[in-house]
Copies of this chain bind each other. A is one copy, B any other.
Amino acid sequence: MILIFQKDATESQIQQALEKITALGYVPHLSRGVLKTIVGVTGDDRSVAELEFDQLPGVEEVVHVLKPFKLASRDFHPEDTRVEIGGLRIGSDTFSLIAGPCSVEDEDQIEAIASYLAQNGLKLIRGGAFKPRSSPYSFQGLGEEGLKILKSAGRRHGLAVVTEVMAAHDVEMVGRYTDMFQVGTRNMQNFALLRALGEIRKPVLLKRSMMGTIEELLLSAEYIMKAGNTDIVLCERGIRTFETATRNTLDIAAIPVCKRWSHLPVIVDPSHSMGDWHYVPSASLAALAAGADGIIIEIHPRPEAAKSDGKQSLTLENFQRLFVKLQQLGEVLGVRVQ
């Protein structure tokens, strides 16, 4: 941590800061410049985030030398974390496909998708039963009924289930049906939910907020890890920018940045980031090439009849074509696509 003082900071303000630093057990290093004074603080200051030196009188700015997350950082844990689910190990030399509809609509729909996935050797099915929708007039999902449909199809076809949980008080109930909890983009900073997920023993798919920085994504992972659960898969799903040609702007760089800063696996959601199925194959192939550990992708047997997000869902035929391409690319890159 480095404190930069205002040009007109007084001697007593500087002394006050030095004393506070020393009192906390850290060692201050003072440098007086021609125009400004700075104080470097050595020690692992990630645990003093709450001290907020930036409000000390005379202090203009505080620069953090270390990233504010610890358990999630690669410094702390150099080797890659692998998250096991459905017989796969996300984060090893695998590119994992989590496919399924945006919303669970009925048994026929899920059966069609689940049997398709199983026939192709895929292991993970996604589907939303609780849908966060901007408008109260939009379809809100089937609720627990949808979870039952998902779980039963998963059991029949040997697929692990990935589904969203929207509130801390739903964790226990949703946990009866799912193999992996998904935290949606609007809940990346729902801290009650993060803490609740830290206390259970199932993997969590943590989506980046559409306006969250990568640092904040890792701080949210830190909430879960601090509470005890380290089985976390990060998910880049597009951020909000001024560009309207796609629903959100897929931040493809989040993949190598997360890999460099953290040991956690990272996957991509090409469907929500694009918002239009035409662009989903490009985004999926780019994710693989950029080093992602998988994608979570929306497919639907009849997108035109979907109750939500049909526009961004691939038909099974289009997904099949993409799957083949991903496998070809994966072979060159030394990863198994499944």
Contact = CB atoms under 8 A, between A and B. Distances in A.
A245 B329 contact: no
A241 interface: yes
Interface stretch (A109-117, A119-127, A183-191): A183-191
Interface in A10-69: 29, 31-36, 38, 40, 42-44, 46-50, 52, 54-57, 63, 65-66, 68-69
Chain A interface, >50% SS class: mixed
Nearest to A222: B136
A2 B169 CA distance: 40
A262 to B, nearest CB: 12
Chain A interface bracket (under 10, 10 to 19, 20 to 34, 35 or more): 35 or more
Contact of A246 (B46, B220, B257): B257
A243 B214 contact: yes
A108 to B, nearest CB: 18
A225 to B, nearest CB: 9
A137 B49 contact: yes
Interface of A: 2, 4, 7, 29, 31-36, 38, 40, 42-44, 46-50, 52, 54-57, 63, 65-66, 68-69, 75, 132-139, 166-170, 186-187, 189-193, 209-211, 213-216, 219-220, 222-223, 226, 239-246, 249-257, 260, 273-274, 278-279, 282-283, 285-291, 303-304, 306-311, 313, 328-329, 331-333
